[in-house]
Structure 1
Amino acid sequence: MTTPPRPPKQVAQIAPEAYRVPKPPAWIRVARPIAAALTTLPTPLRRLIGGRQIEVDGQALHPEIQTVVRLLNAVPGPDFTGKSLADGRATLDLESSIFGGEPLPADLETIAIPTAEGSINARLYRPPGTRPAGLVVFFHGGGWVLGSLDSHDTTCSFLANKAGVCVMSVDYRLAPEHRFPAGVDDAVAAFRFAVEHAADLGIDPAAIAVAGDSAGGNLSAVVAQVTATTGEQQPALQVLIVPVTDLSAKRQSYQYFRDGFFLTEAHMDWYREHYLTDADQALDPRVSPLLADDVSGVPPAYIAVAGFDPLRDEGIAYARKLEDAGVPTTLRVQAELIHPFTAALLSAACRAATEEIAVAIRAGLAHAAVPGSVKRRSTR
């Protein structure tokens, strides 16, 4: 008789020194201090490079961001939409490695999350030297097409350190290889896994949030809506950072910021074409959470939008929709910044805005936690 195979451990800890993000190429290690220097140039030199201060719709672009944007726009050659998928994904990872800076210290674990289609990976960040106040299930941005665990390594380590929480970054399936609803299914599965295995992770199951930037903010909003309709445990907090909330329409911020501020209208069109199989899917609330009929049962929200972002107005609209439905909602408009500011932590302005998010996470999860409920089970 054949002995059935042993099931894999659902939570497998790896020694921190044995599992690190790959060391970036030498040119990136050189580019980081150069990029950092651009954000701290003397005012006369910054004005020379960045030009006259940009003001749009009553907002003034932050001078250090304007300098970087001006130089990025001057780089010759196609952006990721003119490259192969592999090259486009590599481009985003490299840009994130440069402008995100060095990750903060964290104890890392790798996690295999079972799904209906097999399994996906996640990377768990534990803040060093402190008992975590909760867990953030984090979904990276990249238009459901780009992005990876590595592209958002600095962001996740920053949030883990500054909020004093564990962050579980989810490697959900990407389009066009896996179009909608694959990413949604993976996001919901990841949150359910976190709830079911909270004791294994040493986390209070009542203190689990969802968070993400851009497409990841979209997935976070969708997880919040799905769990509200099924009657299962919901996130204690949804943190939506420069989120996509409506792929069916373009609001006035698309007209103001369609080009020149990193995320462009052309990028969003490209993402939409790769993510959806037909245009009508944009009307599905799992694609466009702003279109949901009833959001009254979703968890409290912290929504951060950037002033110079095509997605600004739909993020604000979603915050207003939640407020009108009686959902406790904090809307923070970072009027001087661009999309996605949480990925540009070399900038002092972007770091400060991201630290605001960390403070909100800590406060939200501390409020949700049940005293004395955390007892981590051994996974060995």
Structure 2
Amino acid sequence: MPDRRDMPSLRDRLRGAAARSLCRLPAPLQIRLSRRPPVRIDGQTLDPTLQLLLAARPKGIRTPLTAGSPAEARRRFRRESLSVRGRATAIGAVRDLTVTGGAGPLRARHYAPASAGGAAPAPPLLVYYHGGGFMLGDLDTHDEVCRLLCLHGGQQVFSVEYRLTPEHPFPAAVEDAEAGFRWAQAHAGELGADPERVAVGGDSAGANLAAVVAQRTAHARPPAAQLLLYPPTDRVTARRSHELFDEGFFLSLADREAFSAHYFGTSAGEDDPHSSPLMAADLSRLPPALVVTAGFDVLRDEGEAYARALSEADTSCVLHCEPSLAHGFVQLTGVCPAAHRATVALARRWRSLLDGIPQPS
């Protein structure tokens, strides 16, 4: 049973209900209620629903994501995530599993689409790593995005947890992420998925892990492809988006730096490719990638830089930016229609990428 402190309180649930009501208002009224003109930065206009949601957040929820003890930060993140997720999207089947990680058992969750019936080919399997700065998040905080990827991507999704910092600093999460991928790859047939189409993906910190796993396994049964949602890829270079979106869009630069300090500490140099995938000496011959960035995100420019670097190294890569959305939008599908549309679209775009990859004869 989850600790009651980890579950949304009545106040949290009321806030979530209020947010879902606000998202149904006409855009002009949302802008008026936010008490500021439309937010335009770098030629992009923030989605009106997000503008209102950001303006309506209680002061206490604007605190840094890492504020308080790790346990307090996790509870706050979990409660807020669960309070805005809305009704769970129905899919074929969901079941919880335990798999072998880098240093012990890991919780995992398997999502399967409804059976196509007949002699339909086995679907692909996406191994998914949740975001949360290597410190926050779990299977439940990212349950809805996995359901949407399963339903609209016509694929199985295998969401796997990993050890969190600061209790388990670098490289614990990398070891668990790779172990989770290898477990899924070895058991894909048992899960009813295509063993030749086991891919990796994730959002934010989870996207970093997916990119690192793709690099680490590139020469020994690599993933079929990689889905990288607003990935942090470069701890070395100061970028324009760091300055433009430092405050007010869910993830601040201070949050990002605090997460990095907790996770990497002195265990990994800033140019270590296992912490900064963009710093890898060779980005060729990696699995095809779909990189998705958000326009209002401190991580936007480094995600786009990674996509360019992959393409320049002749690794197939599709880059897509959601210019009106902010960091973490795949967790806001229950309260932001634009975020829901974007997540459904990226799931379909991802499936198109998978279907275009030549299969072994």
TM-score, normalised with respect to structure 2: 0.91
Mapped partners of 1:123, 1:175: distance in 2: 21
**Deviation >6 Å, runs of 4+:** none
Structure 2 unpaired stretches of 5+:
1-5
The answer to whether the 8 Å contact 1:236/1:364 transfers is no
Mean CA deviation greater in 311-320 or 271-280: 271-280
Mapped partners of 1:163, 1:223: distance in 2: 22
CA RMSD of aligned residues (A): 2.3
Mapped partners of 1:217, 1:211: distance in 2: 6
Partner of 1:303: 291
- The CA deviation string for residues 242-282 of structure 1, in whole angstroms up to 9 with x for no partner, is 10101223311011011111100110111011101317522
- What is the deviation of 1:329? 0.8
Mapping of residues 127-166 of structure 1, within 5 Å: 127-130=113-116, 133-166=123-156
Mapped partners of 2:290, 2:63: distance in 1: 35
Mapping of residues 20-35 of structure 1, within 5 Å: 25-35=9-19
Residue type of the partner of 2:88?
P
Residue type of the partner of 1:298?
L
Q: Establish whether residue 123 from structure 1 lines up as the match of residue 113 from structure 2.
A: no
The answer to whether the 8 Å contact 2:102/2:172 transfers is no
Partner of 1:211: 201
Work out the number of aligned pairs and report it: 351
The answer to whether the 8 Å contact 2:27/2:49 transfers is no
The answer to whether the 8 Å contact 2:110/2:158 transfers is yes
Change (3 A) 1:182 1:135: same
- The CA deviation string for residues 327-367 of structure 1, in whole angstroms up to 9 with x for no partner, is 11110011111001111102111011111211022223334
Residue type of the partner of 2:31?
R
- What is the deviation of 1:47? 2.2
The answer to whether the 8 Å contact 1:93/1:147 transfers is yes
Partner of 1:179: 169
Mapped partners of 2:70, 2:7: distance in 1: 22
Mean CA deviation greater in 218-227 or 353-362: 353-362
2:55 aligned residue (70, 76, 79): 70
Partner of 1:48: 32
Partner of 1:262: 250
Structure number with greater Rg is: 1
- What is the deviation of 1:41? 1.6
- What is the deviation of 1:35? 0.8
Change (3 A) 1:201 1:81: same
Residue type of the partner of 2:343?
T
- What is the deviation of 1:116? 3.9
Partner of 2:309: 321
Residue type of the partner of 1:88?
A
Change (3 A) 1:77 1:357: closer
SS at match of 1:281: coil
Residue type of the partner of 1:212?
G
Q: Establish whether residue 359 from structure 1 lines up as the match of residue 344 from structure 2.
A: no
1:109 aligned residue (95, 100, 105): 95
SS at match of 1:81: coil
- What is the deviation of 1:111? 2.1
The answer to whether the 8 Å contact 1:208/1:365 transfers is no
- The CA deviation string for residues 148-175 of structure 1, in whole angstroms up to 9 with x for no partner, is 1111011111111111211111111111
The answer to whether the 8 Å contact 1:56/1:256 transfers is yes
Q: Percent identity, please.
A: 39
Partner of 1:13: none
TM-score, normalised with respect to structure 1: 0.87
Change (3 A) 1:44 1:77: closer
Mean CA deviation greater in 214-223 or 118-127: 118-127
Structure 1 unpaired stretches of 5+:
1-21, 374-380
The answer to whether the 8 Å contact 1:139/1:213 transfers is yes
Residue type of the partner of 1:110?
D
- The CA deviation string for residues 298-344 of structure 1, in whole angstroms up to 9 with x for no partner, is 01110000011000000010000001011111100111110011111
Mapped partners of 2:13, 2:61: distance in 1: 22
Mapped partners of 1:145, 1:211: distance in 2: 18
Partner of 1:200: 190
- The CA deviation string for residues 36-61 of structure 1, in whole angstroms up to 9 with x for no partner, is 12222234431222220111111111
Mapped partners of 2:248, 2:7: distance in 1: 31
SS at match of 2:217: helix
Mapped partners of 1:76, 1:340: distance in 2: 15
2:80 aligned residue (95, 100, 118): 95
Change (3 A) 1:369 1:134: farther
Mapped partners of 1:127, 1:181: distance in 2: 33
The answer to whether the 8 Å contact 1:207/1:368 transfers is no
The answer to whether the 8 Å contact 1:80/1:87 transfers is no
